[in-house]
Amino acid sequence: MDITQNHLLKIYKRNFKELLKDIVTFERFCSSLIEWNILTINHKEKFQYEINKIKEIKDNLFEELFRIIACNDTAVILNCLHSLGSEQCLKLTSEISRTWERVIERMKEKFKIDYSTISISPFDDENAIPIDKILTPMTLIRIDKNLTDEEGHIEYLEDVDNFLLSIISSRGNRIIIRGPPGIGKTVHMKRLVNQWINNHLNTNQIDIVLVILLRKVRRGQSLLDAIWEQNFIHIEWLDKETLNYLLKINMKSNIVLFLDGADEFHIIDNEIHSILENRENSFSSFTIVVWSREWKAHRIDVTYDFIFQLCGFDENQLLIYYRKCLNENRGNELVDYLKNNNMDLFKTCSTPLIALLVWLVWKEEENHNIVENHFLIYDQFIKILCFKRNVNRETKEFKLAFQYCCELAFKHLGNDRIVLESNKSIHHLKYVTECLGGLLRVINIKYTTERPSSIEEFQFFHLSIQEYFAAKYIINEMKKRSSGSRLSHVLEMCTGGRHEFSTNIQSLLDVNGNLYRMLNVLKFVKALDFSVYEEIVTRKPDVVKALENVSDGIGSIINNGPNNNTITIKHEILSISIIQLIIERYWFIIQKLCLINIELDWDNFIKMADGKLTKTLIVTI
């Protein structure tokens, strides 16, 4: 007999004690247990002797009986209880039988608090509003990794409301949803949870949704521990052992496990890591849905049945979003303003984070004045944010902390997080996080190897925010140094001090892969301080030309990787550095490289490719 079956009955011990304090009920229950060979005649005679002496059910008598029934199969005990037929017995039988359903009901009550509302802005303390009032459906691209044909490998899903049901009803139970920072992955997860708790999803197909925010998983914590702490710990009558039992007996139910933030999980010696990266695990019967930034998704999606790409807003979706944020008239006014006065900014609003920043600035600025260049929206927003949070940007403490934040943003452009050990450094960044809210946040990642307790890790909310701070650092450093040394100093740092940037851009590409990131940083510099940018252009025109000749399409491939197992590049002028960067970064996850109508130094390309290209190369002139 499986001893884990005790745990379900143990949580109803008080109910059993209240029921069996009645002597008649106790005796009848013992008789039923004898019929099912759980008690012997000797047990009953001993119990009867004790009852005849004191004419009541003493605690020691109940404890002895409960120890026996708690070691038996739950279904058998319920049959014995049900056979008594009294109202109290039938009620307790029903409660025990419905434990799983009661757990789900309590989960939904808690999730309604956690997932039914959303803060309008992640950067200040504005009141939360119902999630349905603000969230706008975004297009999902479903990618079929089994198809290599350029056409027909993706499917656009305009309505995300029922996409999960369509996947669960299909073959396969591993789903990964990827997207760049700021695209709305966590919000998308919350929306799906909200659909489930409000019965928008067919409960016949999804019995329960479990949620794990991977950044909250502690070192040494098992999957069961994480499920317990993030989903069930608030249920006062439930314990972890009983939860484990319920999960085991309901393995054939439709259980969906949401894992948000795969890119933030770095504990290799952990079963959650096994779930993320491999099919074989103890919870393989669950439907697993993972949200991840693209760099991590590209490394693990080979083990997933379905791959989705979260896309930004199209023009109609952006209009719907602003109408929800404001109202129909003001939403129309904002979109018309952007289209007529700032098309550059309007295009970048396809990323929900940027759309949010634009709206927050729009509603705070007098006369709705928005900067002309979208790179300046960050400067404008930070000024407003500090004002709303009563932060004096002129104090020495703020200036020092802010500049240190900018320095780290620049030095960690190729990294997903910033790891600090110095108490002084940590103090500076924690001060910035308090001033700027969610623009820079402390993250809680645990590791299998021991690390000093003084270590703290930080992460920018969005890559473009990090690029903004990096540009501020370049401007400050350029202005601090003499004209003869400052440019060399700053550009050498771009390559980690290995080579002078002007003469060895290849080092930047090969070592850091930061081409597209540096392109955006320099555009921030240009918008924030044209004199600094002009000096870079004057002294290093070859570098700037190389950076600014990167098209949006190539930049997207460099930064985000391919959408499937084929990289297709059309109608581009490519340098050997660019094509080598793409090949070395993504060759291990693609099957084909298609170059269509490309201008390229083919002789050098063939020399570079010799011995490296082991897969299919298709060239169309």
What's the domain count of the chain? 5
C-alpha distance across the termini of the chain, in Å: 71
CA distance 591 to 568: 11
Helix axes 515-528 and 552-560, enclosed angle (nearest 10): 120
Q: What is the pLDDT of residue 290?
A: 94
Q: Clarify whether residues 114 and 249 are in a common domain.
A: yes
Phi-psi region of 561 (alpha: psi -120 to 50; beta: other; left: phi over 0): left
pLDDT tier at 490, thresholds 50, 70, 90:
low
Q: Clarify whether residues 90 and 211 are in a common domain.
A: no
Question: Is the pLDDT at 561 greater than 50, yes or no?
Answer: yes
Is residue 219 included in any domain, yes or no? yes
Q: What is the pLDDT of residue 151?
A: 41
Give per-residue pLDDT as tens, 426-471.
776 777 777 776 677 665 543 333 444 556 777 777 777 888 888 8
CA distance 521 to 518: 5
Give per-residue pLDDT as tens, 147-191.
444 444 455 555 555 566 666 666 668 899 988 777 888 888 888
Q: Clarify whether residues 109 and 225 are in a common domain.
A: yes
**Pick from 468, 459, 401: which is nearest to 432 by CA?**
401
pLDDT tier at 498, thresholds 50, 70, 90:
very low
Q: Pick from 267, 295, 310: which residue ends a domain? A: 310
**Pick from 615, 550, 619, 607: which is nearest to 589 by CA?**
615
φ/ψ of 156, rounded to 5, equals -90, 130
Question: Is the pLDDT at 218 greater than 90, yes or no?
Answer: no
Q: Which of 37-46, 221-230, 490-499 has the least mean pLDDT?
A: 490-499
Q: What kind and span of H or E run contains 435?
A: helix 423-436
Q: Which of 303-317, 375-389, 504-518 has the least mean pLDDT?
A: 504-518
Q: Clarify whether residues 437 and 482 are in a common domain.
A: yes
CA distance 268 to 460: 24
Q: Clarify whether residues 81 and 122 are in a common domain.
A: no
Q: Give the rounded percent of residues in the chain with a pLDDT score beyond 90.
A: 16
Residue with tokens 């110095």: 422
Q: What is the pLDDT of residue 388?
A: 80
Is residue 560 included in any domain, yes or no? no
Q: Which of 284-298, 503-517, 521-535 has the least mean pLDDT?
A: 503-517
CA distance 170 to 167: 5
Residue 215: give the domain boundaries.
103-310
Q: Clarify whether residues 330 and 433 are in a common domain.
A: no
Q: Clarify whether residues 493 and 583 are in a common domain.
A: no
Find the largest Cα–Cα distance for the chain: 105
Instruction: Supply angle C-alpha 543, 546, 549, rounded to 5.
Output: 145
CA distance 466 to 469: 5
Q: What is the pLDDT of residue 53?
A: 83
Question: Is the pLDDT at 615 greater than 70, yes or no?
Answer: no
CA distance 33 to 44: 10
- 455/101: higher pLDDT: 101
Q: Clarify whether residues 353 and 240 are in a common domain.
A: no
Is residue 387 included in any domain, yes or no? no
Q: Clarify whether residues 89 and 108 are in a common domain.
A: no
Q: Which of 48-62, 63-77, 155-169, 515-529 has the least mean pLDDT?
A: 155-169
* Chain CA centroid to CA 381, Å: 25
pLDDT tier at 108, thresholds 50, 70, 90:
very high
Q: Pick from 310, 335, 356: which residue ends a domain? A: 310
- 323/311: higher pLDDT: 323
**Pick from 337, 377, 376: which is nearest to 361 by CA?**
377
Is residue 288 included in any domain, yes or no? yes
CA distance 303 to 267: 19
Q: What is the pLDDT of residue 558?
A: 67
pLDDT tier at 291, thresholds 50, 70, 90:
very high
Is residue 199 included in any domain, yes or no? yes
Q: What is the pLDDT of residue 161?
A: 54
Q: Clarify whether residues 480 and 495 are in a common domain.
A: yes
Is residue 554 included in any domain, yes or no? no
3-state secondary structure 137-206: CCCEEEECCCCCCCCCCEEEECCCCCHHHHHHCCCCCEEEEECCCCCCHHHHHHHHHHHHHCCCCCCCCC
User: Which whole number is the average pLDDT over 587-611?
Assistant: 74
**Read out DSSP for 194-237?**
HHHHTT-S-TTT-SEEEEEEGGGPPTT--HHHHHIIIIITT-TT
DSSP strand pairing (154-157 vs 140-143): antiparallel
Q: Give the rounded percent of residues in the chain with a pLDDT score beyond 70.
A: 70
Is residue 559 included in any domain, yes or no? no
* Chain CA centroid to CA 601, Å: 41
Q: What is the pLDDT of residue 441?
A: 66
Question: Is the pLDDT at 241 greater than 50, yes or no?
Answer: yes
Is residue 182 included in any domain, yes or no? yes
The average confidence (pLDDT) of the chain is 76
CA distance 130 to 185: 18
